Amino acid sequence: MKVNLRIWRQKGPDAPGAFQDFSGVEVVPEMSFLEMLDEVNRDLEAKGQEPVVFDSDCREGICGSCGAVVDGTAHGPGRQQTLCQLHMRSFQDGDTITVEPWRAAAFPVVRDLMVDRSAFDRIIQAGGYVTARTGSAPDANAVPIGKPEADAAFDAATCIGCGACVAACPNASAMLFVSAKSGHLGLLPQGQPQRYSRAEAMVQTMDGEGFGGCSNHGECEAACPKGIGVSYIARLNRDLLRAASGAASK
């Protein structure tokens, strides 16, 4: 089958960008989307042209490196999948596919489809950790944790920090990412001493990085490749209220 591509090309964060058209690109349905981009780049390099820059690493939907908006949807059509898990069988022969980077002021374009997501790292540095001395790994049953809490913490911890929630949100908010990273620690006993200060510090850093505010559109949940729900945002908001009221210090 053959598809037509419109891929965003941009040399840097301050350079103007534009779509470049690639007509009649031959693909097979079993190809992943990134393998298709690899083929495009091989052809460009054979012609002595600049390849398309994009992020990738594990290509197994684990690392969170890959990401692009495909036909207006973060990570492309389909639910709970990353860009590397998107396959060309999701498209039809002759389709025109538009590919562009995450669009957010806090994610400046590095080049083409690659964006700078280091703002996420700074949010994690602000509080996404536990400072309590834990020593060596304890036995699994040493600290009793209820199954509902353990399951909720595990679900939050599946966040891979890909940034799809930001790209999908009309406000470019990072609340789903922050709530997942804050929530999986706040749900466990080891994370309780800093639960409220952690939430406050991470949200303040998020605001300082230029992400927008959450207005409950729910697009983040729909775009999340791990299916993390907006209930974690509600939990984070409750922690923020407690932090602001001073209840956390009592």
> Hey, which of 132-146, 199-213, 235-249 has the most confident mean pLDDT?
199-213
Q: State whether CATH 3.90.1150.10 applies to domain 118-249.
A: no
Residue 150 pLDDT > 50, yes or no? yes
DSSP string for residues in the chain: -EEEEEEEEESSTTS-EEEEEEEEEE--TT-BHHHHHHHHHHHHHHTT-PPPP---SSSSSSS-----EETTEET-SSSS--GGG-BGGGS-TT-EEEEE----TTS-EEETTEE--HHHHHHHHHH-S--S---SPPPTTSS---HHHHHHHHHHHT-----HHHHHSTT-B-HHHHHHHHHHHHTSGGGSTTHHHHHHHHHHHHHHTT-B------HHHHH-TT---THHHHHHHHHHHHHHHTGGG-
Q: What rounded mean pLDDT belongs to the chain?
A: 94
Give the 3-state secondary structure of 70-101: ECCEECCCCCCCCHHHCEHHHCCCCCEEEEEC
Of the given ranges (7-21, 42-56, 130-144, 164-178), which has the lowest mean pLDDT? 130-144
In angstroms, the Cα distances linking 130 to 23, 44, 192 are 51, 47, 9
Q: What is the pTM of this model?
A: 0.93
- The pLDDT tens digits of the residues spanning 175-201 come to 999 999 999 999 998 899 999 999 999
pLDDT value of residue 129: 86
The radius of gyration computed from the CA coordinates of the chain, to the nearest angstrom, equals 20
| Straight-line distance from the first to the last Cα atom of the chain, in angstroms, rounded to the nearest whole number | 65
pLDDT value of residue 134: 67
- The pLDDT tens digits of the residues spanning 83-124 come to 999 999 999 999 999 999 999 999 999 999 999 999 999 999
Average pLDDT over residues 196-210: 97
pLDDT > 90: percent of the chain: 88
Q: How many CA atoms lie within 13 A of 117 on its CB side?
A: 26
CA distance 49 to 16: 19
Domain ranges of the chain: 2-110, 118-249
Tell me which of 130 and 238 has the higher pLDDT: 238
Residue 250 pLDDT > 50, yes or no? no
Span 2-110 CATH architecture: Roll (3.10)
Tell me which of 128 and 249 has the higher pLDDT: 128
